[in-house]
Structure 1
Amino acid sequence: MAIRKAARSTDDGSRRAGRPPDTTLEQRVLREARAELVSAGVDAFSLTATLRRARVGNSGFYRRWSSAQELIIDAFASIATWPEVPDLGDLRQELRLLVEAFDRPDAWAGLQILFTFAGQAARHPDLYTRVQQQVIVPGNQRVVAVFERACARGEFPRSADPKGLAAAFIGALTVVEQWSSGPGDGLDIGVDSVLATFVALADGVTPPDAG
């Protein structure tokens, strides 16, 4: 990772006499870190360039993060797609929350950053392991939890694997997004079609307590 010592900038976010602390520092740095990941990837990530654009100096940065790796992990976490979904007792409502989170304008760009990093994982095994543990796996587990509840409610066959359903759901949304963002018209299908398909699969199952 090409991380150079950060040059001093005009605003280090420090508390000065008569001046309140800069509450926007963290968001500015995260925003510019995401931009750096998009333009340079992890391989050529430059902390110097990130802090210069954020107008944050070394002291302001190191009060919040201990290293560039910690910043990269937080930047990935800030673009994580899958939210915590409450138990709504209904598969359609719960999947709707996941689809809405996935269908945000910036969500696909965030996933592309993660995909790019996955291709660089062999060169950054320790960092990739930490991103997997702290960002990717927890996000996927939130999707699995939705299907675990649906299976427990009898909305899918008893033999259905919640992890398999979650993987299929995530994969279907990802492929549909790829089709829709490519050149030409692609296939006439959207993320709502994915939601409707999984709900239809659940609707086709007879509840355990039905006569």
Structure 2
Amino acid sequence: MRASAAGVVRPDEIDDIRGAAARSDYRALQAKAEALEALKAKASSLEEFRDIADSYAADNDRLRHQLASRDAELDRARAEVRQLTADKRTLLFKLDQVRALADDRAGTEPLAPGRDEADQPPLPGEIRYYKKTHAAAAHDVLVRIGACGHNAWQNATRADKARKGLARLLGRHQNWKSLQHCGSCTGGGVWKVRW
């Protein structure tokens, strides 16, 4: 509903209506000021001046009340904007979490369930992808996955826990040429290993 409302073009007539209302209010204020000036010019007794002062006081009270009412309305609108902004942030955060979870689920399916990675020696030049599922005390626990589809690979020279996790997973096949980390994947990340 809000998206469709954002696409609606504001009609020019709105400005015409607001301008006419502002001109009408200005004319009314001008007429009132002229009437008060006429009363001041005619006033000759103290009682007439008191009536003029009371008129000014009543106008001031009315204007103060209107100002307080508009301030309260503005405060309510600001509170609503703050609440809507907080709701938006919450929804965006939850959306990011759901997307990350969906990406993780799509990318962490093992390629060959039931086959032991250590029993399948990699071929020279072969590239394999591994996803970190969780961390143990001294190493990361990794599973083999398909390619994540990103191209933001970063060299991983200090990835000690990932290296130890790969060593545990691959057994004696630890002679890889390069180990890179995906800079786009979340939730533990994806590792690209080239032999």
The structure where helix makes up a greater share of residues is 1
Which TM-score band (shorter chain)? under 0.3
TM-score by length of 2: 0.19
Greater fraction of residues in strand: 2
Relative contact order, higher structure (CA 8 A, sep 6+): 1
Question: What TM-score results when the alignment is normalised by the length of structure 1?
Answer: 0.18
